[in-house]
Amino acid sequence: MACSRGGAPAPAALFSETMACYDNIIGLSRLDCPCIEDAPPEGYSTSQSGLYIADYPPFLEMDGYNECGQGSVWDVLDRARTQAIAAFTADTNAALMTVFQSRRDRFKGQIGDATGREALSTSNTYAGARIACNPVRGGTMKITAIGTLFSAAGTVTVKVINSLNEQVGDDITLTVANGFHLNTLSTPIELPTYIDYDDKHEYFLVYTHNPANPAKLNTVSGCCGFYPRFDMAAPMWKGQYSGSKAWANWVMVGGWTGNTLTDFDLCGVSTGTQLNGLSLQVELGCDVGLLLCNGSLDFSTDPQALSIAYAILWKSLSNAASLLLGSTKLTRTATANREYLKEARADWDRKYETNLNYIVQQATISSNDCLACKDEIGMQVATVMTA
């Protein structure tokens, strides 16, 4: 279903990274680069939509295609496209959140205690934490830091493996200490809460148990009527939680030990809430961008897909014009076309906004469990644009 449009501007969506389906959505040029020493940007002549920046003047007439290094026309066009995708993602996320709202409170904070006295004692090879996800289409869990609580200083290597027995991402090396140590991740781990064909999806953060440096048994604590549990037969997300407990609307967290890393699909439906020395800093919420791109775009049958491509094209052209007008390297091109570039940039900006409004108008939540239409009372049309 689509929603009526309007409302005051809202903050951009929680997760606004460029999605894979926008990679090479438009190309830079159909031309072959005659460079010998340097190559043009990867994918410069690849276009999912069949649209290219250099099909439009003055870019199709510009000198500099024989230069492929930093500051060349290739660099200008590549930067223009990268900036356009980032702007489009931010603009559509902000505009969509004037129309839709999350069905659940977003959460940003810690799961798991930083204290524990008893040391882990197990004969199993591996230990770690287990995270079961509320199967919400469009939901995302972002792990920004992992706390460790061990007996002595050193490091542990953690793997993230899902309940399909697939490792997600690379190994993560964490610092451990005699006590609690917080490891901020240089690259946060972003995990969807829903996976096709696995409506009881889980993630396991596992490390090799070292009896000489065992983890301390920290827990997911509760009080005042809030008592965390891990039970897939009666998941916590059946309730409604807010504030520091809002994570329970999205996930359950418990402990795990085992001897293999290939049998996670056979885990029982329940476990304890001891996290075996790990705690998490997470952000849980809706990935609004999935309303527009969930997997791939179909330019043959979906008119919205081509509108997205054209929006990114118009924004790329406008960005390229701005870069040229401010360039000291491509002086002749910028000077000869200065007035044209100014006029064309204004036209491209208008076309971008028109496409953006159409895309937001056509957005639906039929394949998304994360969002709902906002109440129409008191709403008015408002588009949020990046600078």
| pLDDT score of 364 | 85
Radius of gyration of the chain (CA): 25
Structure tokens belonging to residue 294 = 């969930």
Tokens of 260: 């293999």
Is the predicted pLDDT of residue 387 greater than 60, yes or no? no
Q: What's the pLDDT at 75?
A: 83
Residue 251 sits at the vertex; the CA angle it makes with 179 and 127, to the nearest 5 degrees, is 45
Query: Is 302's pLDDT higher than 60?
Result: yes
- pLDDT, tens only, 73-82: 788 889 999 9
Poorest-pLDDT segment among 108-117, 190-199, 307-316, 319-328: 319-328
Q: What does the pLDDT look like over 83-140, one tens digit per residue?
A: 999 999 999 999 999 999 888 989 999 999 999 999 999 999 999 999 999 999 999 9
From 2.60.120, 2.60.40, 3.30.70, 2.30.110, which CATH number describes the 107-290 domain?
Answer: 2.60.120
pLDDT at 71: 52
Residues 6+ away with beta carbon under 8 Å from 331: none
pTM comes to 0.80
Q: Residues near 174 by Cβ (< 8 Å), separated by ≥ 6?
A: 146, 148, 155, 156, 157, 158, 181, 183, 207
Alpha-carbon distance of 382 to 281, in angstroms, equals 34
Domain segments of the chain as ranges: 20-101+303-373, 107-290
DSSP 312-357: HHHHHHHHHHHHHHT-SSSHHHHHHTHHHHHHHHHHHHHHHHHHHH
Residues in the chain: 387
| pLDDT > 70: percent of the chain | 84
Neighbours of 335 (CB within 10 A): 10
Give yes or no for a contact between 194 and 149, defined as CB atoms under 8 angstroms apart: no
Least confident of 18-22, 110-114, 192-196, 365-369: 18-22
The residue type at 354: T
